[in-house]
Structure 1
């Protein structure tokens, strides 16, 4: 359970394999150390609205999380507060950006770090799963899934895990035991395996680490885990 809060949307492990880390609905980043402990927080963390409630506009809503494996810094895509970062020891976050080119961010979500250059990539909104095509400046359909994709992560076997929060029929993914909640794909977009509703419902991310699947959600009060 997540210290009386909900919504562990993204799952991440630090460069030494410790964790997982996740962001929750009261704006904090938590770390698993046999139990959930506070790792990082924004300046509003002592505000009553953030301690007792989940005022996301005021307290922040950390979604995408990724470590820089070289520096150990954690980068955070916060839907309300912008692009944030915190050092390897955690603590108070730094606000790196709230706008680009004079245009304020609306809803930061996905985030990744290029481990060679240190560049940080993030989305301000997204509703398609695409990849860069063989022709410069073009894109191609990667896979057509029966639901709406949320986060995508690499798996250690050379493919990808894609989580789905809702099916195209309108039902929450996993609403029935046979409903898929996530797919593992190869590099060509072929479906290799599926997780179904017997695992959990309305998931946002699957992170494969040392033989286990760690499962995030925007609404559940826990992080799920099962064998890979």
Structure 2
């Protein structure tokens, strides 16, 4: 009798676990035949979220209303001409937002557009203003990650490659290209500065909550570097961790000192085992959450925590995913 009860209890617990997991995950399909909600941002109101998609649009998601247009990288971005496959094929005309982040003091949304450069969208939304498409006289070919220092408003962003365009990302990875860079844009001086060069697939970056350092992922090298902004090591960099496989975007978790990293295992046949990996300020892995059952073997590009939920983005998938923690 005791063993029978135990079996029933285990089965019930297993069923509840399955139900709980299913109930805690939500899909938010991208409208307008657009795809690839690659990164997320949250404004100071804490209502809804923002994400950039193919064809050069920034959507805002409002609870109870769904996705609404918020910003456009180019005039073409607003049109149906940039929907679907055409928007992907003509990203040099439509734009392709990659990293996005708010300056919560000004309400401006900064965007690293993969082919078209660094942009900013005013607090009320609308068309983006191009800030820069080059640094030190060299054009950006493939921007990717972006973050805003919460203490100063300085913008940090990366280029995945300085030799390959977004359409040639597979070639960049296969050739182990190491021409990526980390940049700084100071809004008060309106100047873009190169901080690091020789990075291997620099996909994401994140500033620490106290503004003392910025982390930079190297997707191709399976490495994360730390660049010191303040303190005795200011202006220097070091290896931070090799414990995260093929890291993409990195996002700080409030003022906790921890970070979420989007990770996959890159193979000759493509990415597999997409995961959300939590690390601390010493580079130690604290938690790993597999999202393969929810996203399949796709390239998960960002994991961003906000008010007890994980927002998971992809480079080319048709939906954003939200997991209740």
TM-score under structure 2 normalisation?
0.64
* Residue in 1 that maps onto 2:43: 14
SS state of the match for residue 110, structure 1? strand
**How far, CA to CA, are the matches of 1:132 and 1:101 in structure 2?**
20
* Higher RCO structure, 1 or 2 (CA under 8 Å, sep 6+): 1
Check the 8 A contact 2:57/2:78 in 1, yes or no: no
**How far, CA to CA, are the matches of 1:192 and 1:15 in structure 2?**
28
* Residue in 1 that maps onto 2:23: none
Check the 8 A contact 2:257/2:280 in 1, yes or no: yes
* Residue in 1 that maps onto 2:26: none
**How far, CA to CA, are the matches of 1:170 and 1:209 in structure 2?**
34
**How far, CA to CA, are the matches of 2:274 and 2:128 in structure 1?**
36
**How far, CA to CA, are the matches of 2:313 and 2:159 in structure 1?**
20
Q: Report how far residue 192 of structure 1 moved.
A: 0.9
Aligned pair in 2 of structure 1 residues 159, 46: CA closer, same or farther (>3 Å)?
closer
* Residue in 1 that maps onto 2:239: 141
Determine if the alignment matches structure 1 residue 221 to structure 2 residue 318. Answer: yes
Check the 8 A contact 2:34/2:83 in 1, yes or no: no
Aligned pair in 2 of structure 1 residues 222, 168: CA closer, same or farther (>3 Å)?
closer
Aligned pair in 2 of structure 1 residues 182, 170: CA closer, same or farther (>3 Å)?
farther
Check the 8 A contact 2:274/2:299 in 1, yes or no: no
Q: Report how far residue 69 of structure 1 moved.
A: 0.8
Check the 8 A contact 1:180/1:194 in 2, yes or no: no
C-alpha distance after superposition, 1:157-183 (max 9, x if no partner) = 43110102x41444655x4xxx35121
Q: Report how far residue 47 of structure 1 moved.
A: 4.8
Aligned pair in 2 of structure 1 residues 187, 92: CA closer, same or farther (>3 Å)?
same
Structure 2 gaps of 5+ residues are 1-28, 161-201, 203-217
Q: Kindly tell me the number of residue pairs found equivalent between the two proteins.
A: 223
* Residue in 2 that maps onto 1:61: 96
Check the 8 A contact 1:12/1:19 in 2, yes or no: no
Q: Report how far residue 219 of structure 1 moved.
A: 1.2
C-alpha distance after superposition, 1:88-116 (max 9, x if no partner) = 11011111111112111111111111233
* Residue in 1 that maps onto 2:30: 2
* Residue in 2 that maps onto 1:163: 262
Check the 8 A contact 1:146/1:168 in 2, yes or no: no
Structure 1 gaps of 5+ residues are none
Q: Report how far residue 132 of structure 1 moved.
A: 2.8
Check the 8 A contact 1:111/1:120 in 2, yes or no: yes
* Residue in 2 that maps onto 1:45: 77
**Which structure has more strand as a fraction of its residues?**
2
Q: Which of residues 177, 185, 191 in structure 1 aligns to 2:279?
A: 185
**Which structure has more helix as a fraction of its residues?**
2
SS state of the match for residue 76, structure 2? coil
Aligned pair in 2 of structure 1 residues 199, 187: CA closer, same or farther (>3 Å)?
farther
C-alpha distance after superposition, 1:6-35 (max 9, x if no partner) = 100001111221231000011100000131
What's the Cα RMSD here?
A: 1.9
SS state of the match for residue 81, structure 2? helix
Check the 8 A contact 1:73/1:86 in 2, yes or no: yes
